[in-house]
């Protein structure tokens, strides 16, 4: 039993498991909320509802946004969604927001969206971002 607890303590201290990313400053999250309401919510919905199969995808904990790295989400938001066989042919396409939003705007929106995710989803997504970006 003691050995098991010692291993857990050592792994935790050395980063052996997923770690919770630091929360964004409140003013960034509030700015992201305003930008999301103005630019995203009409298609993607809000903090509740939806399923992982929805298209356009919901960004809350029921969706799959948390599976993607920040750099991928920023690029998709700024440049739009390229054609993909995974997207239904009659589904609306993600438009490019490069002429409307800055990279900092998109990062603020992501900070807001992340408040909807579970701790495990945020930790997983932070790990994916560290590995990919």
Q: What pLDDT shows up at residue 18?
A: 55
Q: What pLDDT shows up at residue 15?
A: 46
Q: What pLDDT shows up at residue 98?
A: 97
pTM, full prediction: 0.81
Going from the first residue of the chain to its last (133 residues), give the mean pLDDT of each consecutive group of 10, the final group possibly shorter. 36 48 88 97 90 87 96 97 81 92 98 97 97 96
Q: What pLDDT shows up at residue 52?
A: 81
Domains present along the chain, CATH in parentheses = 24-132 (1.10.760.10)
Of the candidates 30, 88, 15, the residue with the CA atom closest to the CA atom of residue 57: 88
Q: What pLDDT shows up at residue 49?
A: 86
Q: What pLDDT shows up at residue 133?
A: 95
Distance of CA 7 to the CA centre of its chain: 31
Q: What pLDDT shows up at residue 42?
A: 93
Question: How far apart are the C-alpha atoms of 14 and 62, rounded to whole Å?
Answer: 31
Kindly tell me the sign of the dihedral angle through the C-alpha atoms of 41, 55, 128, 103. Answer: negative
User: What are the CA-CA distances from residue 35 to residues 15, 17, 20, 43, 53 (Å)?
Assistant: 34, 33, 25, 13, 25
Question: How far apart are the C-alpha atoms of 56 and 46, rounded to whole Å?
Answer: 12
Q: What pLDDT shows up at residue 8?
A: 36
């Amino acid at each position: 039993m003691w050995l098991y607890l010692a291993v857990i303590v050592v792994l935790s201290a050395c980063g052996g498991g997923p770690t919770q990313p630091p929360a964004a400053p409140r003013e960034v999250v509030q700015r992201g909320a305003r930008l999301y309401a103005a630019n995203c919510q009409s298609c993607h919905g809000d903090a509740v509802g939806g399923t992982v199969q929805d298209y356009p995808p919901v960004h809350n904990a029921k969706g799959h946004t948390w599976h993607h790295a920040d750099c991928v989400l920023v690029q998709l938001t700024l440049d739009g969604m390229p054609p993909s066989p995974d997207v239904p042919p009659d589904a609306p396409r993600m438009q490019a927001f490069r002429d409307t939003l800055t990279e900092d705007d998109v990062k603020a929106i992501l900070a807001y969206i992340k408040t909807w995710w579970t701790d495990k989803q945020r930790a997983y997504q932070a790990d994916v971002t560290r590995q990919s970006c």
